């Protein structure tokens, strides 16, 4: 019975009478904050890392400290990351990258990558990929000989592009566009990204000062993930603090960005709360109230393991549990 029906079904499909099956992923994007911190070690906030899931793809933006732990917590084996995108080469955005790459080629349920890791970033990305393979060639050789890990899984397929950016990835209807951001005169390249899929969109600022180019590229996105910097007022004479401040966006400036981009939701990540001895550290509440001086729209301070679901109806957020995933 089953066998006899198969040719009939195929025939109907071929003539178009059955129509295409609806894509269950259509019009939907899921964005999870995996790390929302700056270089400052923090047990509650890991290094910069954001997971964007659209049409079955797992795309990771920056690979800061602890990104492998967070990916495992949200149920994405490291070998199932389809592509990783770098914004720039400050250590806090990169220091989880060797872990993501090397733990990914271990053939266990949390790794299991059998093909080269796909890595995208501005000019310099290929050099970094080559240097990682050189630095860690002992682990590669040992695991291939001892554990028989597939050699292809230890490779890195690195693609780099000029700082001016453009469309850098376009697969399964998911388009990733890079654009230059002004992080600092001596900090090049530095880019942000926009991801589009079937009417949904998210923009990620990377590290940047107030950026008119970001406003242009992010205009009207569903979700804007933006960095922010605050320091104690008394630190204004601290030369180091002043240098760092020049590389980032204040809450008031970020509010100006949000007011022009008009996202359905603006979310802070890479929240730099500069601490100095004997000075009261700025709080998240401070960041939000300063932002409100210039922006009245939808706003949230991101936290690790917050998942935003983007649909035609809007953006909803939920906090995932910060525990070890069973199994």
Question: Could you list the residues that contact Zn ion (CB under 5 A)?
Answer: 90, 92, 207
Q: Return all residues near 150 (Cβ < 8 A) that are at least 6 apart.
A: 105, 107, 114
- Residue 196 or 207 with smaller CB distance to Zn ion: 207
Beta strands in 138-216 (DSSP E): 156-161, 166-171, 174-180, 191-197, 200-204
The two tokens of residue 315 are 């953006």
Number of Cβ within 10 Å of residue 156's Cβ equals 18
Minimum distance from residue 135 beta carbon to Zn ion (Å): 22
Minimum distance from residue 128 beta carbon to Zn ion (Å): 15
Minimum distance from residue 183 beta carbon to Zn ion (Å): 6
* β-bridge partners, 45: none
- Residue 40 or 289 with smaller CB distance to Zn ion: 40
- Omega before 317 within 30 of 0, i.e. cis: no
Minimum distance from residue 93 beta carbon to Zn ion (Å): 6
- Residue 58 or 208 with smaller CB distance to Zn ion: 208
- Residue 122 or 153 with smaller CB distance to Zn ion: 122
- Tell me how long the chain is: 327
Minimum distance from residue 205 beta carbon to Zn ion (Å): 11
Instruction: List, edge to edge, every strand of the sheet that includes 265-273.
Output: 166-171, 174-180, 191-197, 200-204, 223-230, 265-273, 299-301
Q: Which residues of 293-318 are buried (b: 16+ CB within 10 A; e: fewer)?
A: ebbeebbbbbbbbbbbbbeeeebebe
- Residue 62 or 160 with smaller CB distance to Zn ion: 62
Minimum distance from residue 153 beta carbon to Zn ion (Å): 29
- Residue 200 or 226 with smaller CB distance to Zn ion: 226
- How far is residue 160 from each of residues 45, 80, 87, 106, 130, measured CA to CA in Å? 29, 21, 11, 26, 12
């Amino acid at each position: 019975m089953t066998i006899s029906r198969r040719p009939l079904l195929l025939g109907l499909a071929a003539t178009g009478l059955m129509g295409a099956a609806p894509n269950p992923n259509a019009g939907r994007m899921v964005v999870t904050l995996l790390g929302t911190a700056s270089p400052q070690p923090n047990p509650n906030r890991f290094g910069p890392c954001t997971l964007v899931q659209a049409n079955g793809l797992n795309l990771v933006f920056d690979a800061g400290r602890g990104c492998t732990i967070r990916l495992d917590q949200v149920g994405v084996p490291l070998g199932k990351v389809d592509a990783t995108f770098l914004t720039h080469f400050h250590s806090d955005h990169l220091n989880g990258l060797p872990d993501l790459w090397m733990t990914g080629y271990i053939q266990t349920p949390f790794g299991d990558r059998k093909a080269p890791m796909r890595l995208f970033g501005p000019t310099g990305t290929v050099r970094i990929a080559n240097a990682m393979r050189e630095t860690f060639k002992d682990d590669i050789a040992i695991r291939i000989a001892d554990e028989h890990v597939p050699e292809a899984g230890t490779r890195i397929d690195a693609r780099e592009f000029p700082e001016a950016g453009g469309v850098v990835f376009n697969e399964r209807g998911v388009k990733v566009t890079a654009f230059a951001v002004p992080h600092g005169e001596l900090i090049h390249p530095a880019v942000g990204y926009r991801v589009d899929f079937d009417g949904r969109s998210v923009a990620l600022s990377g590290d940047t000062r107030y950026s008119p180019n970001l406003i242009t590229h992010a205009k009207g996105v569903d979700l804007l993930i933006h960095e922010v910097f605050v320091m104690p007022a008394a630190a204004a004479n601290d030369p180091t603090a002043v240098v760092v401040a020049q590389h980032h966006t204040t809450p008031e400036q970020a509010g100006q960005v949000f007011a022009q981009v008009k996202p359905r939701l603006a979310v802070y990540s890479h929240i730099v709360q500069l601490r100095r001895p004997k000075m009261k550290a700025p709080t998240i509440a401070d960041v939000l109230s300063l932002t409100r001086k210039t922006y009245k729209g939808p706003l949230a301070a991101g936290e690790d393991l917050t998942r935003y679901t983007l649909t035609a109806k809007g953006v909803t957020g939920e906090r995932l549990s910060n525990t070890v995933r069973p199994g």
